[in-house]
Chains A and B, each alone.
Chain A
Amino acid sequence: DARVTQTPRHKVTEMGQEVTMRCQPILGHNTVFWYRQTMMQGLELLAYFRNRAPLDDSGMPKDRFSAEMPDATLATLKIQPSEPRDSAVYFCATSRTSFSEQFFGPGTRLTVL
């Protein structure tokens, strides 16, 4: 049963610290998305990649967020420095091709104190 995995599932950190979230796409999926979900804003697209190349990161605060795909089995989302307003659930989702179903990971719940 192929699934998207995300680590860590929960992260509590203090303001100013670096946070790294990781995502392992389903094997064979070439498109990877990062979303952020909060009660106030709902689900927001932060960035996405196709074949490891970034296609759109316009939803991401560039001064503190960065997203990369060092290889086909790993996508990372980093926040440096973190702020309390970054507290949210961060989801990774992957899809096989354009227009196809997105498969979501279980999310990383981030709390910045």
Chain B
Amino acid sequence: GNSVTQMEGPVTLSEEAFLTINCTYTATGYPSLFWYVQYPGEGLQLLLKATKADDKGSNKGFEATYRKETTSFHLEKGSVQVSDSAVYFCALTPNRDDKIIFGKGTRLHILP
């Protein structure tokens, strides 16, 4: 079946630290991959996406590369800010399917 596994949180970092949140997936076919972010008290919003192998999605200083050989889509940012504190969800849509399959989310705390 299709599934997403991401590292458990919470992850606590100091401001300006380097961030990696690991995400691996299991899917049939050729899924599209996503990172969504949920700020406190809000719904999820798309952070970045990649639709085929070796694509790199990027937004707001965050990046993730679609690695088919390792079935991974790790989220990275070179220098985090306090405002990046949120819950991050890795997700995929299997080929020809409307539903997004979400990971369990990783809570990120950035300390000033």
Contacts and interface: CB of A to CB of B under 8 A. Distances in A.
Contact of B93 (A4, A43, A45, A99): A99
A101 B46 contact: yes
B69 interface: no
Interface in B84-102: 89, 93, 96-100, 102
Q: How many residues of A sit at the interface, in one of the four size bands? A: 20 to 34
Interface residues of B, number: 19
A95 B98 CA distance: 9
A55 B43 contact: no
Contact of A50 (B32, B42, B98): B98
A82 interface: no
A34 interface: no
B98 A55 contact: yes
Given A48-B99, A93-B44, A102-B44, 10 more contacts: A50-B98, A91-B43, A99-B98, A101-B34, A101-B49, A102-B100, A103-B46, A106-B42, A106-B43, A107-B43
